[in-house]
A and B are shown apart, each in its own frame.
Chain A
Amino acid sequence: MELTADKIKELVVKPENKVYAKTPLLTDKTLSYCPGCGHGVAHRILMELVEEMGLENDTIGIAPVGCSVLAYEFMNVDMQEAAHGRAPALATAIKRLWPGKFVFTYQGDGDLAAIGGNETLHACNRGENITIIFINNGIYGMTGGQMAPTTLPGMRTSTSPYGRDTHMMGNPLKMTEIVAMLPGTYFVTRQAVHTAKHARKAKKAIKKAIEVQLEGKGTSFVEIVSNCNSGWKMTPVKANQWLEENMLDYYHLGDIKVDGKLVKEIV
């Protein structure tokens, strides 16, 4: 018997064999991300949770400027596209004007920690009852791999071709630790999605972040240390390895603030 695609479909695609389905809260649009990029996984986790928690009709999301600028094309909920860095300001107003909705921002490290640093700090400091998903890949992916505030010391990018010189450019900015110090944040955590195990943990963390918002407790902030194989100029596999060995060495995973209390010493 010749195994054609149709034949395989006929033999395999049966309800009893189904172990996974894409959530309907991801559209059928082909993701614009590079293969192996963490953005796709983060999108999936978030939208699965919105579906599982029954929030489809009560969610308003905000996309950033960065590789995930088109997040609104993929996330099948009501979405706004913000100017570069301003997502927390949009979220502030939306949540205050629609307190019953689940409001999240989804932002890169250039967006959240560089150009939007002020909006991030002040939204967190006011304790806006919103959820911030922060994808830290240590680089400006979208514009072709320039240095970000989060770029590691010595790391080569197109604007630090000899490696980040910390004397000239300072040290990587740990925005997550900074916002954890603010009384307005209630749940602050750092996660990763480069392995299935990490992705499962990240999903739990985002679920908690959503719950914190639904309970009206204050800002919930989830950093996801991610890769950018294109920007880092590595294969996807190599990029995940490099993430494990270098990024996680600087950006330690785990909860930083739980129930409004620091659970980790900030260094």
Chain B
Amino acid sequence: MTEEIIIAGFGGQGVLSMGKILAYSGIMQGQEVSWMPSYGPEMRGGTANVTVILSDERISSPILTKFDTAIILNQQSLDKFEKAVKPGGILLYDPNGITRHPERDDINIYKIDASHVASELGNPKVYNMVVLGAYLKVNPIVSMDNVKEGLKKSLPERYHHLLPLNESAIEEGTKHVEVVREIK
């Protein structure tokens, strides 16, 4: 199995750390992983994206143009990456602030209103964990146990009291993801 994922949005949405948790979860189940961020000034306030690959084999290029999954959190990223999803692949997006919605009919499209769910949980910072939960619901590439392990590993110890909150955000994400179009 190889899953090639792009996660893209604004800096500050937790794009990079979501990718990191996903990658760590992959390690927890014995996979090879890579995490390649866009870096530099564009991170500050601008767009941020990260390519995450989980595979049972040695990973070749950490930088890709075609993806099995695109997790999209703003309009710019949707415009840029919708066309980069492989036919039959997955596009998960947050509809907040989106004016031009995804149009392709050869991929699976899902949405998650993550900011709403996060504010229900009383902490907008767990936004990215809600998105992660939504993704794992539609594409369970890592088991929930391994995600919890990955979360623990990637969070510095002084934040470990926040683990339960993050776990429940993931849980909520799995419940609130909506199908826009499935092509199965």
A and B touch in the complex (CB under 8 A): no
- Interfacial residues, chain A to chain B (CB-CB below 8 A): none
- Interfacial residues, chain B to chain A (CB-CB below 8 A): none
